[in-house]
Each structure stands twice: as C-alpha cells, then as structure tokens.
Amino acid sequence: EKLSGNVAIDGPAGAGKSTAARLLAQKLGYLYIDTGAMYRALTWKALKRGINVFAEKQLVALAEETNIYLESTTGGILKVYCDGEEVTKAIRQENVSCHVSAVARVPEVRRRLVELQRKMAASNRVVMDGRDIGTNVLPEAPYKFFLTASLAERAQRRYQELLAAGQPAALEKIKEEIHKRDVQDSLREVDPLQPAPDAVIIDTTNLWIEEVVDKMLSIIYERHNFGTGGATNSG
Ligand code: CDP
Ligand code: CDP
C-alpha cells in the first residue's frame, strides 16, 4: 500500500538524522532533502566572500542573490550546488560547521531557505531533515521524528566519521563545536531546535542505525494504518 505524506526529521548534530533520513527515503521511495546542507552552502559562500557572519544585512543580501540547488534522487542526496559550483565536500569543512549557526539565526535568511524547502516538498514526497522541519517547514507532515543522543555519543560518531574520511580531529574539540552549535540552535529566537508537539522522540544513543530506521518505519506504518481507519473499526 502506498503511503501518502511527508516525513520530517529534526534533532541536534550527530543524532543520526541524515543517515536515517537517507535510508528511510530509500525504503519509501521518497526524495531525501538535507536542509542543513542549504544553510551550510550559504555559510560557505559568506566565508569565501569574507562576509562577517554577524553582519545580518549582508547575509540577507547574500541569501537573496544565491542560487542553492540540491541534486537529489530517491534514496539519497547526490550533490550540493552553490551558484552552479559543486560544494558537496566543501560545506562539511570545520570552518563552515563553526559558523553555520550564526548564519542560520538570521530570520530573513531562514525565510528565504524555508521557501525553497517548501517548494521542493510541494512537487515530491520527501523525507526532510533539519532543525525546524516538524515545527515550521512542514507542520502538516503526518510523520515527525525528533532524534537525540548523548553529547558524548554524538561527538564520538563525528570523530569516527572524520577519522574514516582521513581528516582526524580531536574528540574534545568536536564535542565543544557540537555543543556550542546545539546551544545556539536551541536558544535562537526564530524557529529554534525543539521537538514538534506531535513528534516521536527517539534516543539513538544505544541504537544501531538499522534499529533506528526500523523503529521509524514501524511507527510510520502504524500511524498510516490508524489514519486510514484500519478498514474495520471506523464506525
Ligand atoms: O549534520 P549536522 O548535524 O552537523 O548539521 P546540519 O544538519 O548540516 O545543519 C547545520 C546547521 O544548519 C545547524 O547547526 C543549524 O544551525 C542550521 N540548520 C537550521 O538552522 N535549520 C535547519 N532546518 C537545518 C540546519
Ligand atoms: O545528520 P546528523 O548530524 O544528525 O547525524 P548523521 O550524520 O546521520 O550521523 C553521524 C554519524 O553517526 C554517521 O557516521 C552515522 O553513520 C553514525 N551513526 C551511528 O553510528 N549510529 C546511529 N544510530 C546513527 C548514526
């Protein structure tokens, strides 16, 4: 039976959002949309231009003139483009990670990117991950998840990831960067990181990624069957 309705996934850095979202999109035949990549692409461009990340007006102007494009297919994001230039790898650099929260707190910057995100969801079924998807971008999505994990576990995951990519970094430094970003994302005035009232919260600290995805799938199908009345007990 075909599902109808988008999947929204939010949570702090390293909770497993993008990995889970990608696998879930594969299983459902949905498009995966990584909204964090969009904030990262804009931050990458600002840094390249030497724009101070606290210069709000300049950031807003930059957001207006920047063309961010996600080339995704069902089952996974392929490439991120900024004004036609491929920035898939560049936006993962530490310098971008350290400054992206400052860029993402500017209301007009968010407004512009959210508009793009809603457009992408209008023409496709999507699994979208970020910080404000369930609360703001797709409040009508029937399936909402909020993934969490302990700070130690999330830092450890990022540490392993960087090590595997041949870019080792100190665990303590990673922990600090992630924690700082969590605080900034949670305390900002516009669309802070927080679970939507109807989101299912999953603590992934002690779960394998496959377990997380299985859990999400079973919740999705449970809700789907319930939502369609389960054929029998609707009267
Ligand atoms: O993958 P990781 O957890 O490192 O972060 P990300 O999803 O790439 O997002 C990078 C940053 O973009 C976040 O720390 C937020 O500051 C911002 N962001 C946001 O404000 N709203 C979103 N919907 C997605 C990301
Ligand atoms: O998108 P987000 O920042 O929330 O996390 P991610 O990029 O999906 O996950 C960060 C790293 O943790 C990846 O290398 C995942 O393979 C790993 N991970 C894990 O080991 N166990 C999980 N339950 C989830 C993610």
Sheet containing strand 31-34, edge to edge, reads: 31-34, 126-130, 7-10, 143-148, 200-203
Per residue in 153-212, pLDDT (tens digit) is: 999 999 999 999 898 999 999 999 999 999 999 999 999 999 999 999 999 999 999 999
Q: In what helix (H) or strand (E) does residue 19 lie, and over which residues does it extend? A: helix 17-28
What percent of the chain is predicted at pLDDT more than 70?
94
Q: What is the pLDDT of residue 78?
A: 78
- The CA 181 to ligand 1 mean position distance, Å, reads 9
Q: Which alpha helices (H) appear in 75-197, and where do they start and end?
A: 94-104, 107-122, 151-164, 171-187
Q: Which ligand is nearest to the CA of 161?
A: 2
Q: Whose CA is nearest to atom 12 of ligand 1?
A: 36
pLDDT in tens, 110-129: 999 999 999 999 999 999 99
For 11, 65, 114, 166, 199, the CA distances from 36, given in Å and listed in that order, are 11, 19, 11, 23, 19
Candidate of 6, 35, 80, 189 to mutate for ligand 1, largest count of ligand atoms within 8 Å of Cβ: 35
**Both tokens assigned to 93:** 């650099």
| pLDDT exceeds 90 at position 1 | no
**pTM more than 0.90:** yes
Q: Which amino acid, 204?
A: T
Is it the case that residue 22 has pLDDT exceeding 90? yes
Which residue's alpha carbon is nearest to atom 14 within ligand 2?
161
Nearest-atom index, ligand 1, CA of 104: 20
Please tell me the number of the ligand nearest to residue 91's CA: 1
Q: Is the CB of 144 under 6 A from ligand 1?
A: no
∠ CA 138-142-146, nearest 5°, is 70
pLDDT at 233: 41
Task: Give the closest ligand to the alpha carbon of residue 40.
Answer: 1
Which residue ranges make up the annotated binding site for ATP? 11-19
Tell me what pLDDT residue 225 has.
Answer: 86
- Given a cut of 90, is residue 231 above it in pLDDT? no
Q: Phi and psi for 79 in degrees, rounded to 5?
A: -140, 150
> Closest Cα to residue 144, out of 195, 218, 213?
195
Q: What is the pLDDT of residue 110?
A: 98
Which comes out higher in pLDDT, residue 137 or 232? 137
Instruction: Write the DSSP assignment of 87-98 as a string of letters.
Output: -TTGGGSHHHHH
Q: How far is the CA of 226 from the centre of ligand 1 (A)?
A: 32
Quote the ipTM score: 0.98
- pLDDT one-digit tens code per residue, 70-101: 997 666 667 999 999 999 999 999 899 999 99
Query: In angstroms, rounded to a whole number, what is the distance separating the alpha carbons of residues 192 and 178?
Result: 16
Distance 39 CA to ligand 2 centre (A): 19
Residues with CB under 6 A from ligand 2: 11, 13-19, 157, 161, 204, 207-209, 212
Banded pLDDT at 227 (limits 50, 70, 90): confident
Q: Is the pLDDT of residue 229 over 90?
A: no
Predicted confidence at residue 72, as pLDDT, reads 79
Question: Which phi and psi angles does 94 have, rounded to 5°?
Answer: -60, -40
Residue type, 208: W
Answer whether 159's CB lies under 8 Å from 169's CB. yes
Q: From CA 113, how far away is CA 68, in angstroms rounded?
A: 9
